[in-house]
Amino acid sequence: MSQSAIRWEQDADQIVTLILDDPTQSANTMNALYQQSMAETVKRLQDEKKNIRGVIITSAKKTFFAGGDLKMLIQAQPEHAAEIAAGVDEIKRQLRVIETLGVPVVAAMNGTALGGGLEIALACHYRIALQDTRSEYGLPEVTLGLLPGGGGVVRVVRMLGIQNALMNVLMQGQRMKAAKAKEVGLIDELASDVDDMLAKARAWMAAHPQAKQPWDQSGYKMPGGTPSTPALAMNLPAFPSNLRKQLKGAQAHYPAPAAIMAAAVEGAQVDVDSAFKIEGRYFVKLATGAVSKNMIKAFFFDLQKINAGGSRPSTAEYPSVECRKIGILGAGMMGQGIAYVSAMAGIDVVLLDTDQAAAERGKQYSRQLLDKRVSKGRMNAEKAEATLHRIVATTEYAQLSDCDLVIEAVFENRQIKAEVTEKVAAVGRKDLLMASNTSTLPISSLAHAYPRPERFIGLHFFSPVDKMPLVEIICGEKTSPATLAQAFDYVIKIKKTPIVVNDSRGFFTSRVFGTYCYEGVAMLGEGYPAASIEQAAAQAGMPIGPLAVMDEVNLELGRKVRVQTRLDLEAEGKSFPSHPAEVVIDRMCDEFKRPGKKEGMGFYDYPQGGKKSLWPGLQSHFAHAELAQPTPSQFAEMMDRLLFRQSIEAARCYEEGVLRSVADANIGSIFGIGMAPWTGGQLQFINYLGLKAFVERAEALAARYGDRFTPPALLKRMAERGETFE
């Protein structure tokens, strides 16, 4: 190989600077070129050791080093286990040579070092990072279903101790800013700029000419003790049970955290080289398993596609138009949240409601969130005041005359929405982008109220807006590509993840979300215990059970949408299939007057100041004695139903063209609906099971529970052709 990912520079002081700079990529990763280059570099370091007094490792990219080679890892199958094991062994051998060279080695991190990138730095004797607020440090492998296999587990455990390593770094894969990483102990020193960083590196080397890792020094003691230290030994048995609790029983679907824990604890009982072997074995098992593929696909490749504008019309044809000022109609729950995230992104906001007090209340919401940020030290008071100042609360439409974008978030009522849209059209600019935050009304029909329907679009936010990462952008029949491009850029500007879908009843997210809730309610109607239904959801990996979530949404509200949808469809001469959940919901609303959480009574009881618990009446009114203890196979089927129902509906959305891409489906389902993250999203779940197996199981479920499980023709076609959702 003639090119190298590492440049070697040596000065008169016999200091070697290794500059990580992969000529084939914009960021450094642990690809084949890196491995080859590092092997050559390590050999040269050994050969020329006599003439070297110290080594600085830094990077010529914007970031220090991005991490493992995910393109390679996503293809790793069980039959590649030996090859992958050899690969990580070699990476670790190289890093081990560096840390035992006998001269000081300093990592000078000029930017983000995550995963494999941080593992290189951990093999250095001292870590200095630039003190900026953008760069991130950490070992986030667990979030991709993996563990740090380049020595990260072994070294962090030896640096910080088992408990701190697991809690602060490994088990949740925290991404930290430089200051936080220093606090945790991953970074030794911060520098103000590159010159300062290199000067500090040299000063440290001069003061530590014989640097060694703590674990290579005699008398080394692991911080917090080893597993045989009585205090730690007493606590260790609680670790796996705490993990089960955190994963809410879904541990079977998340092998990575348990593997990390095992590698950390087992590795702490042996010497460094044996610990590397243990870490390597667990790594190979995870890397060749199916869950890491699902998670790498969703959280790296699909997410990257989306954030890079995969669903946006090209910037060459539709260049970015900066959004500087927006109007928001309705200062209720959604409007006030949209105002806050927009002001935080530096956008001026006109927040309009029917009376001044309501508009002011909406603005007050931002004040509360900003005050909280200030009190937590996450923002200074001056910046908070300036952010609040961007929001103008008003009742006057004239204030909207110079807005780039207006988002309507008034009551979910066609008539009111049409009225406010017409008022905006009367005062707004000709090139104004008009959006609706409706959750149920088709965008094409709302666009009728706007004189330029090509400039009308759906921007479906999720509640609470400041916390939920997703915005579903809905194109109506007449929405133009320029409108979509502008809406997309606004969503990116407010730091949300946009998915783009075509218009349809319930769009993508609400439509599929409904199938999950209804399936759980249908099980209740069949006589399954409510607690088993909620537990089946948790063990399948869903963040919140279908009954709990129905209570949050409100049963009465859901019923109103259903009645309206039926009327609309019947008016179009179409039929609306009934669902077994409807009987249960009608009884809950009419007979038991338990519409949901807001009223303090739904599937759950909500005692004032107390913890919610399932309403005992569910047992007497719905439960069947013979289902009181679902068998393992019944329980497995409950889990299947909750996941299959979502994936089948997502596949239908894809078949109908409501979904425009696989990435939109996977990311939208995880970020917007809460589809179990281990599946990699609703379409990836079908890939994971295999198209053929999925179709067969869906047909079996359809035979037992009805047409809602019938696999769409698209899936059968794909299964026959051996295709997958890419």
Please give the residue ranges that form the binding site for ligand NAD (CB under 6 A): 329-335, 352-354, 358, 409-412, 416, 420, 437-439, 460-461, 463
Reading phi first (left if > 0) and then psi (alpha if -120 to 50, else beta), residue 350 is in beta
Least distance from ligand NAD to the Cβ atom of residue 411, Å: 5
Least distance from ligand NAD to the Cβ atom of residue 353, Å: 4
CB nearer to ligand NAD: give 312 or 363.
363
The Cα-based distances of 294 to 138, 678, 680 in angstroms read: 21, 7, 4
CB nearer to ligand NAD: give 361 or 493.
361
Least distance from ligand NAD to the Cβ atom of residue 415, Å: 10
Least distance from ligand NAD to the Cβ atom of residue 62, Å: 36
Q: In this structure, what token pair is assigned to residue 27? A: 């960021």
The Cα-based distances of 267 to 148, 313, 511 in angstroms read: 13, 50, 48
SS3 for 221?
Answer: coil
Annotate 74-107 with three-state secondary structure: CCCCHHHHHHHHHHHHHHHHHHHHHHCCCCCEEE
The Cα-based distances of 195 to 53, 127, 177 in angstroms read: 20, 15, 20
CB nearer to ligand NAD: give 66 or 420.
420
Least distance from ligand NAD to the Cβ atom of residue 419, Å: 6
The Cα-based distances of 83 to 78, 180, 280, 619 in angstroms read: 10, 36, 12, 55
CB nearer to ligand NAD: give 81 or 427.
427
CB nearer to ligand NAD: give 358 or 443.
358
Annotate 158-207 with three-state secondary structure: HHHCHHHHHHHHHCCCCCECHHHHHHHCCCCEEECCHHHHHHHHHHHHHH
Least distance from ligand NAD to the Cβ atom of residue 497, Å: 16
The residue count for the chain? 726
Asked if residues 624 and 541 have their Cβ atoms less than 8 Å apart, the reply is no
CB nearer to ligand NAD: give 161 or 442.
442
- Per-residue DSSP letter, 550: H
CB nearer to ligand NAD: give 89 or 552.
552
CB nearer to ligand NAD: give 78 or 464.
464
Least distance from ligand NAD to the Cβ atom of residue 125, Å: 52
Which helix (H) or strand (E) segment holds residue 470: the answer is strand 470-475
CB nearer to ligand NAD: give 192 or 368.
368
Closest residue to bound ligand NAD by CB: 332
Least distance from ligand NAD to the Cβ atom of residue 260, Å: 36
Least distance from ligand NAD to the Cβ atom of residue 336, Å: 8
CB nearer to ligand NAD: give 436 or 646.
436
Least distance from ligand NAD to the Cβ atom of residue 440, Å: 6
CB nearer to ligand NAD: give 106 or 334.
334
Least distance from ligand NAD to the Cβ atom of residue 330, Å: 3
Which residues are 35's β-sheet partners?
A: none
Please confirm whether the linkage preceding 464 is cis (ω < 30° from 0): yes
For tokens 């996977």, what's the residue?
666
Asked if residues 433 and 486 have their Cβ atoms less than 8 Å apart, the reply is yes
DSSP 573-605: T------HHHHHHHIIIIIS---BTTTTBSSEE
SS3 for 710?
Answer: coil
Least distance from ligand NAD to the Cβ atom of residue 343, Å: 17
The Cα-based distances of 709 to 457, 546, 670, 701 in angstroms read: 32, 18, 21, 6
Q: In this structure, what token pair is assigned to residue 233? A: 């030994």
CB nearer to ligand NAD: give 131 or 437.
437
Q: In this structure, what token pair is assigned to residue 9? A: 């520079």
